[in-house]
Amino acid sequence: MIADDATFRTLMRASQKGDKQSYTVLLGECEKWLRRYFAAKIAPGVLEDLVQETLISVHRKRASYDPERAFLPWLAAIGRYRWIDQLRKTYRANEAELDENLVADPQAEAVSAKISIESLLEKLPEKQAEVIRLVKIEGLSISEASAMTAQSESLVKVNIHRGIKKLNSIVEE
């Protein structure tokens, strides 16, 4: 069973004061909560790294938690930021290898991340998903994406903006 918000708050308050025993329990509970939080959002192959990175961020940014407020919305915000950051990094680092990996090792992290983001993009209107793929993932310029999709440059920008806004709201659900 995962602790409730009041327990998290008590543990975090004590941790901010330097209580190591509370901190050990807190990080263990955060780990469990984060696994459940990310489970529906990300491929199993990258879950471990993401939970670890988020716990490190919890550690580094613990001063940003306001002890007068609920804990879990803060933890979710830290987790969401790390998740989006990891997706961005994975895409940049593996863009060149992505096609080969897709054939050679379907379980590779980059592929898992791609499957994860592809499943999110499928929830967007096709025009928005298309320009996000071209500009934000494949790195084309606005004008190149405009030429490829027969959308005007301003429409490409609008569709990217709206699509990313919608992705954010999907992620927050």
Partner 1 sequence: MTHNINSSSNGFSIDALVDDLQPVSPISLKRGFAIVGAMTLLALAAVYVTIDFRRDVMAGIPDPMFFLRLGMLLLLGTATGIAALSMGRPAIVSEKRSSGTVYWKWAVMAALLFPLSAFVTLLVDTELFMQDFHTVSSVKCLVTSVTASLLIGGAMTLWMRRGAPINLSLTGMLIGLSAGSFGAAAYSFHCPFNAVAYNGVWFPLAVAISTLIGWLVVPRLIRW
Among 78, 98, 120, 129, binds partner 1 (CB under 8 A): 78
Residues 6 or more apart from 58 whose CB is under 8 A from it?
27, 30, 75, 78
Return the range that interacts with partner 1 (CB under 8 A); candidates 26-34, 92-100, 102-110, 142-150: 26-34
Among 4, 5, 6, 81, binds partner 1 (CB under 8 A): 81
- Which residue lies nearer to partner 1 by CB, 32 or 123? 32
Return the range that interacts with partner 1 (CB under 8 A); candidates 2-10, 78-86, 96-104, 134-142: 78-86
Site for partner 1 in 101-160 (CB under 8 A): none
Residues listed for the chain: 173
- Which residue lies nearer to partner 1 by CB, 5 or 97? 5
Residue 6 within binding range of partner 1, rule CB under 8 A: no
Residue 92 within binding range of partner 1, rule CB under 8 A: no
Residue 51 within binding range of partner 1, rule CB under 8 A: yes
Q: Contact positions toward partner 1, by CB under 8 A?
A: 15-18, 20, 23-24, 27-28, 31, 35, 48-49, 51-52, 55-57, 59-67, 69-70, 73-74, 76-78, 80-81, 172
